[in-house]
Amino acid sequence: MPRIANPIVVWIVLLAVLPLQSWADQPPNILIVYADDMGFGDLGIQNSQSKIPTPNLDQLAGQGMLFTDAHSSSGICTPSRYALLSGRYHWRKFHKIVNSWEPSVFEPKQLTLPRMLKQKGYTTACIGKWHLGFQWDAIVKPDAKPVIRGRQKVWSADAFDWTKSIPGGPLDHGFDYYFGDDVPNFPPYAWIENDRVTQAPTVEYVPDPRPSEGAAEGRPGPMVAGWKQDQVMPTLTKRVTRWITERQGQKEPFFLYWAWTSPHAPIVPVKQWQGKTAAGGYGDFLAQSDDHLGDVLKALSDNGFAENTIVIFTADNGPENYAYPRVRNFQHRSMGELRGLKRDIWEGGHRVPFIIRWPNVVKPGTVTSDLISQVDLMATLAKVVDFQLPAGTAEDSFNQLDLWQGGKSQRTSIVHNTKANHYAIREGDWVLVDAPTGAISSVPDWFDLENGYTKNGLPAALYDLSNDLSQRKNLLLQYPEKVTQLRQLLKKTQAAGEVR
């Protein structure tokens, strides 16, 4: 007689493989929501002292997994976006942002996250902030020349042929569809759909409305007449919900990269959100953005996508330096207990909010303190969709699917960097800031005094984050062997890719 298997063992095996079978039969949709300049301490569910209500983000975390030790690749915008979409540390190629009118940071045929997913049958879209470059030279008129204002090259609206296709953007790097304004405080101040502006700019930029907090930070250049910067986030949200609704009845799974322009400057909450929080204009702007997220999550649910969509929320870097006066004016710490802000290689520059919801795969209400990087999304999603990453691609990315499902992180170290020759290296709980300071953003003297920070006076700094998350106590002289070990690890990582 044939041997009958133990039914308990059979059920255990079935339960172990059922998620994998369902992914193969019905690949999950993927939505990445990427906030801009949002601090670790702005997320209500991980900062009980936050003055900003984030009910939709808090609920999203309750429905999935909250990562409390998650990092962007850089302390600034373009490099983090590049790393997120390539699985590669930005500093292997560049350090700075793409400035106005500059070309793409991607190689023409480079494997990107959307390009990978397209190969697995996904429909792909980017809606929101791109900030990774377009080939603007392709639409500059032959006789046009910029005007030099100080150190800036300023182009007039009539310097461009706005009827032409603008190459080098999202459509050339794996996306089927794009809608956005590229960068909210850079020209052209206009909507771009796919590879063309929807309306030609005809006037020079004037900020409208004036920001509720901080400076407008708008770079001079062409603008569509009547352009309202407070309407950018509402317009993007409507476009996202429309795009999701249009997926009804489509057979292909989708990947949607919704890159917020908030709470980055200009801080411009719409009128109905002004004064809604106890954290000033920034708090109002972020609370409004959380409400926009609620609209999009509702669109997923209303259209039957919620149960089979991976929703990933994170941010490109820490908060802008308006966060320092916000501490005094509103007693709200956008950086939470962390040291540093945007640009810095202190923890506050790159430790960011990170949430993943995936029904029936990621256990609801879970919190992990294991180390993870946005760079890891490429390898993890490659595993989810059963894509074999070619050699030489996504070389810094780790498959973190086991961590998502309650296991351990595959990552033990991470490199922090914003500018050339200014690095920090993390391994376990130890982090070496291999520079006299982790600061790039200017720090007010009063903030250091009130928070117990002193001038370093040494060529580098070593911290044990398990006892000193706020990075106050420099242990450089107490543990010279640890310093040597971390410097060797940094050099090895820089030379050969991530140490596995």
Domains of the chain: total: 1
Return the higher-pLDDT residue of 35 and 21.
35
Going by pLDDT thresholds of 50, 70 and 90, the confidence category of residue 5 is very low
Question: Averaged over 460-484, what is the pLDDT?
Answer: 98
pLDDT at residue 6 greater than cutoff 80 = no
pLDDT of residue 25 exceeding 80: no
Model confidence at 244: pLDDT above 90: yes
Instruction: Please state the rounded mean pLDDT for residues 143-166.
Output: 93
pLDDT at 201: 98
Report the b/e string of 46-83 with b at 16+ CB within 10 A.
bbeebbbbbebbbbbbebbbbbebbbbbbbbbbbbbbb
**Residue at token pair 């590229």:** 182
Q: Virtual CA dihedral for 206, 261, 97, 356, nearest 10 degrees?
A: 180
**Per-residue confidence band for 7, with pLDDT thresholds at 50, 70 and 90:** very low
- 417 lies in some domain: no
Query: Does residue 438 fall inside a structural domain?
Result: no
> Across residues 65-93, what is the average pLDDT?
98
Does 225 reside within a domain? yes
User: What is the chain's Cα-based Rg?
Assistant: 23
Averaged pLDDT for residues 219-224: 97
The pLDDT of 189-216, averaged and rounded, is: 97
pTM, entire model = 0.94
| Tokens (6 digits) for 320 | 């802008």
87 is in which domain, residue-wise? 28-411
Tell me the mean pLDDT in the region 209-224.
96
Q: How far apart are the C-alpha atoms of 159 and 144, rounded to whole Å?
A: 5
pLDDT band at 494 (very low <50, low <70, confident <90, very high): very high
Q: In the predicted model, is pLDDT for residue 3 greater than 90?
A: no
Q: What is the pLDDT of residue 8?
A: 44
Residue 17 has pLDDT above 70, yes or no: no
Q: What proportion of the chain, given as a percentage, has pLDDT over 90?
A: 91
CA angle 85, 87, 91 (to 5 degrees): 95
In this predicted structure, what is the pLDDT of residue 20?
A: 46
pLDDT band at 22 (very low <50, low <70, confident <90, very high): low
pLDDT at 18: 45
User: Residue 139 maps to which CATH number?
Assistant: 3.40.720.10
Structure tokens at 481: 């062997």
- Window from 5-9, 370-374, 434-438 with minimum mean pLDDT: 5-9
Q: What is the pLDDT of residue 13?
A: 41
- The pLDDT, as a whole number, for residue 455 is 87
Q: Rounded to an integer, what distance in angstroms lies between the CA atom of residue 448 and that of residue 340? A: 11
pLDDT digits (tens, 9 = 90+) for 327-341: 999 999 999 999 999
Q: Which residues of 389-418 are buried (b: 16+ CB within 10 A; e: fewer)?
A: beeebbbbbbbbbebbeeeebbbbbbbbbb
Residue 426 lies in a domain: no
Mean pLDDT of 390-410: 97
Query: Residue 64: pLDDT band by 50, 70, 90 thresholds?
Result: very high
pLDDT at 166: 98
* Structural domain includes residue 439: no
What tens digit of pLDDT does each residue of 113-150 get? 999 999 999 999 999 999 999 999 999 999 999 998 88
4-18, 193-207, 266-280, 406-420: least confident range: 4-18
- 463 falls within a domain: no
pLDDT grade for 14, boundaries at 50, 70 and 90: very low
**Residue 317 domain-assigned (yes or no):** yes
Residue 486 domain-assigned (yes or no): no
Q: What does the block give as tokens for 292?
A: 């926009």
Mean of the per-residue pLDDT values of the chain:
94
